[in-house]
Amino acid sequence: MDVFVIGANGERQVLDVPEGCSDLAGFERWRTAVWGSEVVRSLGARFLPVLADGDLQVEPGQVTEFLAECALLRDNLGRIVAGTDPVRTVEEHRETISARLANIE
C-alpha cells in the first residue's frame, strides 16, 4: 500500500512510510481472498473489493467514506474471519486481518 500526492507536474509522489508504521495490507492473494471476498462485498464494501481486479485509488473527497468502510469491516471482523479461509489458526487470521486493516486505516 502506498500513499501518494499528485505533484504540480501531474506526477505521483509516493510518500515515505512514517516511522513505526507499516504499509502492509495483506498477502497478494488477499486481494481476492479477503478484501475482495464475498463476505466483505456482502457487508456493502465498495472500495476494498476493487483490489480483487486491480489497484485501489482513494481520492481526497472519498477519504471519509473509505474510513467509514474500514470501520464497517472492523465492526464485522468476526464475520470476515468466519467467511474467509485462515492460513493458520482462526485467532491468528483474526489478528492478521485486524493488523492489516489498521495499516490501511
What is the predicted pLDDT for the residue at 35? 93
What is the predicted pLDDT for the residue at 17? 72
Express each pLDDT in 57-97 by its tens digit. Answer: 888 899 999 999 999 999 999 999 999 988 789 999 999 99
Give CA–CA dist 54/68, Å, rounded.
Answer: 21
Residue 16 half-sphere exposure, CB side, CA atoms within 13 Å? 3
What is the predicted pLDDT for the residue at 1? 62
Which bin fits 37, alpha (ψ -120 to 50), beta or left (φ > 0)? Answer: beta
pTM: 0.81
What is the predicted pLDDT for the residue at 45? 97
Express each pLDDT in 16-32 by its tens digit. Answer: 777 877 666 677 788 89
